[in-house]
Amino acid sequence: MTEDITWLFLDPSLKISFQGLTTSGVVSPDLHFIHTPQQLVGVVGLEIHAQINSSTKLFSGSSVRFSAPPNSLVSFFDASLPGTLPVLNRRCVEAAVMTGLALNCNINRKSLFDRKHYFYADLPAGYQITQQRQPVAVDGTLTYSLLEGKKRSQVIRKNVHIKQIQLEQDSGKSLHDDVHSQTLIDLNRAGVGLMELVMEPDMSCGEEAAAAVRELQLILQALGTCQGNMSEGQLRVDANVSVHRPGEPLGVRTEVKNINSVRYLARAIDYEIQRQIGILQRGGTVQNETRAYDSKSGLLIKHSLPISLTSAASFFRFMPEPNLPPLIVYEDNASLPAGIDACQAVVVQKIKEGLPELPSIKRDRLVQTYGILPEHSFTLVNEDGLVEYFEAVLMATKKEPRKVIGWVTNELLGHLKQQDLSVSQSPISPPALAELLELQETGHISSSVAKQVFQKMWRSPGKTAAQITQEHDLGLVSDTAQLHSICQKVVDSHPDEVHAIRNGNKKVLNKLMGLVQKETKGRADPVLVRKILQEKTS
Amino acid sequence: MSALSLAALRTSCGVPPKIIRSTSRLLSNDGHTITNVEKTFHRRSCCVQTYILSVTRLYSSQPHNPKVPKMPTWEPVPEDQLPQPAQIPADLVDKLERLALVDFRTKQGLECLEKAIRFADQLHVVDTSGIEPMDSVLEDRALYLRDDAVKEGDCAEELLQLSEKTAEEYFVAPPGNIPLPKREERAAMLKHSEF
């Protein structure tokens, strides 16, 4: 792919083009190539906190629920009362190992817990138990796909390197009451297990980041380790955004927080990249700061913290957690020490064997089984419940999957998106759609009429396709006598076109067909019409 | 901190309170004796708390543990083996105060810090080349893994009672972190404060 090339004419005879180079430059009088400043590109790294889907918290036996009366899901340990100690939840360890295996990480046989100290009202202990030195899993890859090309039909695979996955505690929730100048603290969320996924800055724009997060959401939901609902705070994404010229060292980064949907993520990152490019182009310097996304205005506003909290490691005074011995995870049953209780051992082999079907495998399977295109399978898996809908339709109709997929991914999904509905809220059920497709397949209605019937079915759920076809008299007109008379009428009223066809311009036949269809309100069988017209005009 | 070591005994047979009066020679840090120990004794329903000096255990059933030496055996490390005494610049003191929210800017505080660092410098004498660092004395213990079953929680009332200020089942805190004033301002504040 050729980049934009700026070249200067000093002498027409010196005109040289540099195709294929990835740099842009100017030719000096003595034929030296001088670099002109290249385009600034964005560099995006993500830090994702995924709330582990478990019944109890990471280190205490209190319940994990989204909404509950304030401070009702808090144990003495969560409130950090003196004399309480952390007791690790086995389910959280298994969840972390499962996620690590699904993302091709190395699982550390031995991992350690640390304390990260900072003062804030929603952190009652004054420190958070995390795994900074030696986390549960390291060195993984997240493979995600982008739909590119003019019709978004090209599936491009990209990789993000995952630096580490660690277990850590969540903090409580603070509600700011500006009226009374106070903060209200709810500790229900304090102590809930989180998996922090640290990714390398391998992405360059909001779209890539959004695709990566979407893929991660699908993987976590398939594993069952996290419900991945961004709006409920089960999946929190912080983006570190900077800009630089390719080849040069990375620029100053800013942290973007408070994003609660995948769509906003793409928007916020792109906005931040543009903002930083604007600053640099005006000759300013980018400040290292934290910016929060305000969904109402769609802008990134500067956070109240003057510096990025995560910048200085010494700021947090990391120290080993003295109350927890190292966490040992066993490779397989053979490596278990003698006499160990089964419920005290986390065995990697067993977890690996129990991994469910991951989204990428599912997509390949759909392509294999049904012969559909990769981009269609991508759309199917991307939408919650759409695969099940598609398979249900296939069960009820004899039509080929390749013909059904268009209806599901274009018609159904298009209508759902327009009204912001989920698949489960669709007014047209799989059997109803299957019936409509059967009608089309058996020749009772034409394809254009089928689309009309679909829309009518959408607006009046409960009515079957057959009923609507009957009511609005949309059945295909296959009465040859009627068709003949209509075609004759059209042919008689357009002698010029008939003349053109007889002279060899076959494309004009389509115009005549269009006129016939208009007469019959689209109910004429196109194949039959074409045959009749061809007869009449030959 | 006195030299008294307090041992709480919970015995079913019950140690008669007369024991305390026999150990009358109790010494505190600066050599003064304390004689009215009886006042500190009190009896609970099923537990007898007695204060017995560890050196004289007249009525203890166990003899002196042979593993514990009778006299201290360690020697202070000579000064020449230690590295240079650490100089603590004012900026570092400021940063530490900011991080730990501990006020130790006074002469006493800085002296205490320097002594503590000097004491820890003794660790440099030990040769640790080729040895894996130990981060916990628990490192050869098995970490207990708990079942994922709800056993705690539902004690909002009890917890809220502990807080001075609450508002409708929420704990109340000041709005955000109150930033620590700059060094010069703090010095002025301390000068005018009661401490």
Strands B33-34 and B26-27: antiparallel
Q: How far is A73 from chain B (nearest CA, A)?
A: 5
Contact B169 A54 (CB under 8 A): no
Query: Would you say residue A455 has pLDDT above 50?
Result: yes
C-alpha triplet A92, A98, A103: angle, nearest 5°: 130
ipTM of the complex: 0.72
Instruction: Check A72 against B154: CB less than 8 A apart.
Output: yes
Contact B143 A79 (CB under 8 A): no
| Contacts B151 to A, Cβ<8 Å | 56, 61
Of A62, A89, A325, the CB nearest to B141: A325
Long-range contacts of B117-126 (CB under 8 A, 24+ apart): B117/B85, B117/B86, B117/B88, B118/B82, B118/B85, B118/B86, B121/B82, B121/B83, B121/B85, B121/B86, B122/B77, B122/B82, B124/B82, B124/B83, B125/B77, B125/B81, B125/B82
- Which residue's structure tokens are 């399977």? A365
Mean pLDDT to the nearest integer, B32-47: 41
| Percentage of residues in chain A having pLDDT higher than 90 | 38
According to DSSP, the β-strands at A114-117 and A137-148 are unpaired
Distance CA B136, CA A322 (A): 6
Query: DSSP alpha helices (H): ranges in A176-261?
Result: 206-223
**Which residues on adjacent β-strands are paired with residue A147?**
A155
Per-residue pLDDT tens over the stretch A331-355:
988 888 888 888 889 999 999 999 9
CB-hemisphere CA count at 13 Å for A132?
Answer: 15
pLDDT higher than 90, residue A412: no
**Chain segment A231-261, per-residue pLDDT in tens:** 888 999 999 999 988 888 888 888 888 888 8
Q: Does B101 touch chain A (CB under 8 A)?
A: yes
Q: Does the distance separating the beta carbons of B141 and A120 come in below 8 Å?
A: no
Q: How far apart are the first and last CA of chain B?
A: 22
Q: Which pLDDT band, with edges at 50, 70 and 90, does A69 fall under?
A: very high
Q: Which SS3 state, helix, strand or coil, does residue B134 take?
A: coil
Taking all residues of chain A, what is their mean pLDDT, rounded to a whole number? 83
**What number of helices (H) and strands (E) belong to chain A?**
16, 19
- Looking up tokens 């120990």 gives B37
Q: What's the whole-number mean pLDDT along residues A69-83?
A: 94
- Give me the residues paired with residue A476 across strands: none
Asked if the model's pLDDT at residue A299 lies above 80, the reply is no
pLDDT for A127: 94
CA distance A22 to A126: 51
Highest mean pLDDT among A13-27, A165-179, A410-424: A165-179
In chain B, what residues touch A97 (CB-CB under 8 Å)?
A: none
- Whether residue A5 is predicted with pLDDT greater than 50 in this model: the reply is no
Express as a percent the part of chain A with pLDDT over 70.
88
Q: Which residues pair with A88 in a beta bridge?
A: B145
CA angle, corner A208, sides to A202 and A211, nearest 5? 120
Please give the pLDDT value at position A442: 79
Cβ within 8 Å, pair B139-A326 = yes
Q: Is A177 helix (H, G, I), strand (E, B) or coil?
A: strand
**Tens digits of residue pLDDT in B74-88:** 887 887 778 888 888
Give the helix/strand (H/E) hosting A402.
Answer: helix A401-406
Tell me how close the Cα of A90 comes to any Cα of chain B, in angstroms.
Answer: 5
Q: A199, A214, A208, A202: which is closest to A270 by C-alpha?
A: A208
Q: Who has greater pLDDT, B84 or A37? A: B84
Chain length of chain B: 195
Instruction: Answer yes or no: are the C-beta atoms of A188 and A70 closer than 8 Å.
Output: yes
Distance from CA of B73 to the nearest CA of A (A): 28
Q: How far is B185 from chain A (nearest CA, A)?
A: 19
d(CA A98, CA A63) in angstroms, rounded, equals: 22
Closest CA to A364 of A77, A70, A155, A110: A155
- Closest-CA residue of chain B to A57: B148
- Distance (Å, whole) CA A274 – CA A282: 12
The reply to whether B169 touches chain A by the CB within 8 Å rule is: yes
**CA-CA distance, B145 to A93, in Å (whole number)?**
9
- State yes or no: pLDDT of A97 exceeds 50: yes
Find, in chain A, the residue whose alpha carbon is nearest to that of B168. A70
